[in-house]
Homo-oligomer: A and B are copies of this chain.
Amino acid sequence: MQLYNYFRSSASFRVRIAMNLKELPFDYKAIHLVRHGGEQRAPEFLELNPDGLVPVFIDDSVDPPFTLTQSLAIVEYLDELHPEPPLLPATAIGRARVRALALNIACEIHPVNNLRVLRYLTQVLKIDEAAKNAWYRHWVETGLLALDRQLAASPMTGTFCHGKSPTLADLTLVPQIFNGWRFDCDFTGIPTVMRVFDACMALDAFQQAVPSEQPDAE
């Protein structure tokens, strides 16, 4: 299996955690999102993903090799093919809740602060650095505050976002915290989120997936 990814990309980080939890080895293919004008915009890479986004996953155990984009779809695929340990709960309600928590981060918080969106703000709309950083913090902080309320209110929240073992929701949450730290987000008002974050970071699978541990880290 091959994973085209970037050490700092949150979406790449999600997939790395899933691969580690399942103890699946993979070829780490580094795509630098800034260097050389953005390697994700090179023609060879756009062949793999016309969106020019990481991660891209290739399952070369099948013929022809199967190329897949979108981190949450990659994680669900890995979970179907390599079910242990499961990254989704055993009940329909549990699975639905975990998917909703993950999508909450992946759809409502992360995309608005994607590199290309931030570039549009500064390069096209001529927003200054301070306003860009305020934009960033606004979406992360309001998004995680709402998530914290949701987690705190549900009896299904356990050591992790859902129950006693890490799921798709946790592996989406952790990269968002790292991402927020880079922009000095205020995480004081989200105790449940941070408690879950700490539980995740006590596990090797999460530790080994962090940006600073990757071969392309700077």
Please list the residues of chain A having a beta carbon within 8 angstroms of any beta carbon in chain B.
50-53, 62, 66, 68-70, 72-74, 76-77, 80-81, 92-93, 95-97, 99-100, 103-104, 106-108, 110-112, 117, 120-121, 124-125, 127, 131, 135, 138, 143, 145-147, 149-150, 153
Contacts and interface: CB of A to CB of B under 8 A. Distances in A.
Contact of A73 (B74, B100, B112, B120): B100
Q: Lowest 5 CB-CB distances: which A-B pairs, in order? A: A73-B99, A77-B96, A73-B100, A70-B100, A70-B103
Given A120-B138, A125-B135, A80 B95 contact: yes
A149 B80 contact: no
6 contacts: A50-B146, A51-B150, A72-B103, A73-B99, A76-B96, A121-B125
Given A99-B70, A127-B125, A108 B77 contact: no
Given A69-B104, A92-B81, A76 B62 contact: no
Contacts of A106: 103, 107
A62 B107 CA distance: 27
Contacts of A62: 93
A137 to B, nearest CB: 12
Nearest to A69: B100
Given A50-B146, A146-B51, A92 B70 contact: no
A135 B127 CA distance: 13
